[in-house]
Amino acid sequence: MSWLTFQVKTARRAQLVDITARVAEAVENAGVIDGTCHVFVPHTTAGVTINEGADPDVAADIESHLRELVPKEAAFEHAEGNSDAHIKTVLVGPSCMAPVRGGKLALGTWQAIFLCEWDGPRTRQVEVAVSAV
Ligand code: ZN
């Protein structure tokens, strides 16, 4: 098992940040030929997901449609004023898994790994664990 942690600075309140290159680098440095790569973010208002990275409009659509689905200004109990960000984080989840084949991250052709910021801008932590199978 190999662990690596890196930080991501986000620039907007809601932003999908493509972190594929940094995860792929962690996988290549792990020395695991065949296995799995788990990506985890230790946050309650940011998550991680795998989706299309080829066309940046997809990430923009996810940002804008989740903003419509869970508006910031709504009737929430949580006094911090960021319940929408907590709910969007529930929707994308705090982790994802991808296969490692031949020592490399084996995503689908159109896939990328995104840190999903919902309460930025902030500095977020990403943890990558690579294990052999
Ligand atoms: Zn909160």
Chain segment 95-126, per-residue pLDDT in tens: 999 999 999 999 999 999 999 999 999 999 99
Q: What is the Å distance from ligand 1's center to 86 Cα?
A: 7
Q: What is the Å distance from ligand 1's center to 78 Cα?
A: 7
pTM, 2 dp = 0.96
Q: What is the CATH number of the domain that holds 12?
A: 2.60.120.460
Range of the domain at 87: 2-132
pLDDT the model gives residue 4: 96
Which protein residues have their CB within 5 A of the ion that is ligand 1? Answer: 80, 82
- Least Cα distance to 119 among 76, 89, 78 occurs for 89
Chain segment 79-97, per-residue pLDDT in tens: 999 999 999 999 999 999 9
Q: What is the Å distance from ligand 1's center to 56 Cα?
A: 28
Residue 1 has pLDDT above 90, yes or no: no
Q: What is the Å distance from ligand 1's center to 118 Cα?
A: 11
User: What are the structure tokens assigned to 57, written together?
Assistant: 């409009």
Rounded to a whole number of angstroms, the distance between the first and last alpha carbons of the chain is 10
Number of separate domains in the chain: 1
Chain segment 7-23, per-residue pLDDT in tens: 999 999 999 999 999 99
| C-alpha distances out from residue 55 to 6, 58, 110, 123, Å | 25, 6, 9, 25
Q: What is the Å distance from ligand 1's center to 64 Cα?
A: 20
